[in-house]
Amino acid sequence: MKENYFGIKKGSRILSILICAVLISTSFVTALSITKNNNDIETLSYSFSIPTPKVITKIYENTEYTFIESANSIGIGGSSGAPMLPVQVISLLLPPMKSVSNVKVDGTKVEIDLGNHNLIEKPVFPYQDPVPFGEEPKEFIKNTEIYSNNALYPNKIDKNYHLGYSHGYSIFDISINTVQYNPVKGTLYYYEDITINLELEESSPNLFYRNNAEDKSWVEKFVDNPEMTEAYTSEIPIFGYDGGLCDPEDTNDYVIITTEDGDLNYWDVSEELPYNWESLMEKHAQDDGFSCSLVTEQEINDCKDYQDGEPVDDLQNRIREFCKDAYLDWGTQYILIGADDELISAREMDTSYESRIDSDLYWSNLDNTFNDDEDSSWGEAGDDGFDLYSEIFIGRLTCDEPIDVSNWMTKSFYYADCTEPECNKRY
């Protein structure tokens, strides 16, 4: 039985973390301890083994630097100009309706045998901010304060942590500084094993849990303790959307969101326009067994149930509310935005080094608001409203007239149906 979620607020706040780091998280758990009281999980303890890092010398702008590489990690700095060292992200699935009240991380630290590598003559490379497309690289930065300090950097094992949700499953991510560096002495240490102890507390049920095999399989792929999915059962509340355009009696796996502008929502097929949106929906029904539907931005914008959203009520937010409705009441897995940004504008997000980034992520990752501090910037570092995990596969076909759509389908259908060897070549 579904419960309407309208008016319910989720109380958990999250800490910012890099998306790229979460995506490379790899399972390497070696031990598990769970403490229970009255059949209720109160603490979790996981132990992990860390592979020995590799020390490599590379030349950057005619200067030799040392690079540290470690499996299942990414090289990153605490800020631009700080030493670039491996950070490993561990993603732990929590029991349902649980949050984390306390975190403790311990590890066994050993010195790395550097062999012939001299880290005083060839220091660890200082991290530089990424360079957006179309922009020139910024001036090379080296934080002299850090590099002249006779102390280990970073000074603690855990970097930051984040509690997020995917398909209603609670996921705790923690970034681990697996390597520490003394730039004055030219020494390196790494943690060969670590133990993460979590104290848990009660939390509200997540609105997007659907209790189906597809969601469970999806979450199992990117957490380090997939066995915890067995705790997610039919006893957990399942919610529906209050009102909206999506009838819970219907099912639509694949939804196209387009616009009536320029007659982009419908046109008759012809010799010049052999395909329309119905052609795409028929193709997915035939090849993939999908049930499909088309909705216009005008229908979404006019639906009163999608209005008065937080933190602002605009078209982007109303589309996001529709995506929640489709996910909950239609069981939608895929949404295609059929219009260019001038017709259906994406939510623009910011980073520390680039702003106004068009991001359809706002419509696929349905938890939180992406603007918890309710300012003019969306998705920026330090805002607890960011959501790392998607519920829906989102795509966009940039088009502003029917011929764009028909031409795209001509090419897409050709490659989808092609059985010739050249169709499978990778360039």
DSSP string of 121-182? TSPBPBP-----TTSPPPPP---HHHHT-SS-BSSSSEEEEEEEEETTEEEEEEEEE-EEEE
Residue with tokens 């764009």: 404
Residue 368 CA, chain-centre distance (Å), reads 13
Backbone angles phi, psi at 87, to 5 degrees: -125, 130
pTM recorded for the entire structure: 0.84
Which of 19-28, 166-175, 345-354, 367-376 shows the lowest per-residue confidence on average (mean pLDDT)? Answer: 19-28
Torsion angle, CA of 151/153/158/163, rounded to 10 degrees?
140
Q: How many helices (H) and strands (E) does the chain have?
A: 8, 19
Report the distance separating Cα 89 and Cα 223, nearest Å: 10
Residue 2 CA, chain-centre distance (Å), reads 27
Report the distance separating Cα 295 and Cα 265, nearest Å: 8
pLDDT tens, position by position, 227-259: 999 999 999 999 999 999 999 999 999 999 999
- pLDDT above 80 (res 306): yes
Q: Is 224 exposed, middle or buried (0-12, 13-18, 19+ CB in 10 A)?
A: buried
- pLDDT above 50 (res 36): no
- pLDDT above 60 (res 25): no
pLDDT tens, position by position, 313-344: 999 999 999 999 999 999 999 999 999 999 99
Which of 28-37, 69-78, 171-180, 293-302 shows the lowest per-residue confidence on average (mean pLDDT)? Answer: 28-37
- pLDDT above 60 (res 288): yes
Tokens representing 60? 């950057």
Mean pLDDT of the chain: 88
Report the distance separating Cα 106 and Cα 145, nearest Å: 28
111 DSSP β-pair partners: 189
Q: What is the pLDDT of residue 7?
A: 32
Contact 222, 24 (CB under 8 A): no
Most confident option among 38-47, 215-224, 364-373: 215-224
45 DSSP β-pair partners: 33, 197
Tokens representing 198? 């979590």
- pLDDT above 60 (res 2): no
Walk me through the domains of the chain, giving residue ranges and CATH numbers.
2-239 (2.60.40.3800), 242-424 (3.40.50.10390)
DSSP code for 304: G
What is the pLDDT averaged over residues 375-391?
79
DSSP code for 329: I
Work out the pLDDT band at 131, boundaries 50, 70, 90.
confident
Report the distance separating Cα 284 and Cα 31, nearest Å: 44
- Least Cα distance to 97 among 197, 241, 221, 231 occurs for 231
H/E run at residue 323: helix 315-325
